[in-house]
Amino acid sequence: MPEPEKKAELRLEVKKLPQLICGALLILLGAVMPRVFNENVFPVLKYYRLSLAEESVHLITSAALLVTMNILRAIPHYIGVYWAVDAVSLTRGKRRIVFADAALVLIVLLVTYRVVEAINQIHYDFGLPAFLMAAIIILYDLLNYNYVSLFKRTLFIMTALMAVQFLDIMPAASFLPVGRGELSRYIKRAAEVLGIEVQINALALVGFVALALIALMLFVQIRDENELREISSLREANARMRLEAQASEVQNRTFREMQYLVHDLKSPLSVVRTLEGVLRIREEEETPDKAELYDRMEKAVDQMSNRISQLLTMDHKDSFTVGELLHDVMQQISIEAYAPYVSCRSEVDGRYLYANQILLSRALVNLILNAAQAVPEDRTPDILLRAASGDGQIELSVRDNGKGVPEEQQEIIWHYGYSEKKSSGLGLAFVKMAVERSGGTISMQSKWQEGTTISILLPEEGDKTGDGK
């Protein structure tokens, strides 16, 4: 019988540690707030007694003071609980548990109430504010309001909870799970005795409606902003996908064109090789001079065929010296208009590299071309191709005296499609690819209006294992 599948483990993961710490500190602050905002600061009982002994209007003052005191006491720990819960994620396997955040809010609030009660001997009723906060968290999760800042989400929760605090003193709302504290009951009972229930209801209703409307406007703003940010994020993702698709299409097309090119170039070489063999056979008496010429012809054809093959097989690698690579590069640029302004300096001509020489030489040619194009027209180009060594590596660098690259663009210039010259944007992306295929790294140092140095670090052949040789 097949073994029953094991249930994935329940896991609580911290996503935002600094936010979790701030939330915990706010919860602790809320726990000591009743010691700060008490009868000495808000004389609720004083005006309550005055309303019974003198004028009933003092009861309205007592009710307003009670609401203000409750808001100042409660807001810190409500915000702290939300921040703490938002900073963690409760998952089973790789899937997030539905309504997990709301359940965590209720659990943490219940624990917070008990801590406040133990510290201050004040009972916090587990009622409407707690369930309202859980409902808001569920709403955030269902609507995926993660694109809006934490501050704006918190402001909406805070305003909604402040509105609910006005229901504590509202006699007409006694059927709701609010206002079950000792002082709230005193005020509502006194309003009934003194016959000013209408006034107290009106006060509570005005405060509740005003804050509820503010909360509603904040929610609409959060909803609209979240939708705009989500659309913007989707557009950016689509743009990246289109750019990657275009780059992939260019790469595939380039590869196909290279295949055709290799085939076209190898066909005449095969003919030359065949004719060389036929000529040897037809020679009745092969002199040493002719034999040497045929050997040289055969060797040249083989070298050309090998180089053409390397164009197709980018992962193909051979051993070659740094001097051979630099000679190849300088030979390729010798016909260009900027060639007189390019100098070459090498300290490691005899050192060996193990890479695709064709690919690497084309990468250096691209860097020199970019360097020449970066020099303003009113400035004489000064481009240096340099080779050095250190720590078992060969450093190949191209330095220019061009306009430089702004710091904010020094990361994106390596991406496919990026160009300041309205070209295909494949040059530097190709260079990076060629260097990485050769087992190296590439970096840039640039100062605006002073110049740029691009350095390539490659391992010397002696430091490699020799796999594939």
Q: What is the pLDDT of residues 250-299, one digit of tens each?
A: 666 556 655 655 665 666 667 677 766 776 676 655 566 677 777 777 77
Across 86-103, average pLDDT: 77
Mean pLDDT: which of 146-155, 194-203, 220-229, 310-319 is highest? 194-203
How many angstroms separate the CA atoms of 396 and 179, rounded? 77
pLDDT digits (tens, 9 = 90+) for 39-78: 888 999 999 999 888 888 899 999 999 999 999 998 999 9
Residues 33 and 140 in one domain: yes
Whether the predicted pLDDT of 439 surpasses 90: no
Q: How many domains does the chain have?
A: 2
- Chain centre distance of CA 38: 46
The answer, yes or no, to whether residue 420 has pLDDT greater than 90, is no
253 in a domain, yes or no?
no
Q: What is the pTM of this model?
A: 0.54
What are the phi and psi torsion angles at 280 (to 5°)?
A: -65, -40
**Could you tell me if 120 and 212 lie in one domain?**
yes
Domain stop point among 242, 276, 300 = 242
Tokens of 334: 């010798």
Question: Per the domain annotation, does 254 fall within a domain?
Answer: no
- For 187, counting Cβ atoms within 10 Å of its Cβ (0-12 exposed, 13-18 middle, 19+ buried), the class is buried
Residue 201 covered by a domain: yes
> Which stretch of 59-63, 249-253, 301-305, 322-326 has the lowest confidence by average pLDDT?
249-253
Residue 340 lies in a domain: yes
Which of 219, 242, 265 finishes a domain? 242
Measured distance CA(49)–CA(141) in Å, rounded: 46
Judged against a pLDDT cut of 50, whether residue 426 lies above it is answered with no
CA 402 to each of CA 419, 449, 454: distance values in angstroms, whole numbers, following the listed order: 16, 7, 12
More confident residue, 463 or 450: 450
**Domain that residue 413 falls in:** 316-463
293 lies in some domain: no
> At which of 213, 242, 271 does a domain end?
242
Same domain for 429 and 325, yes or no, is yes
User: What CATH number corresponds to the domain at position 336?
Assistant: 3.30.565.10
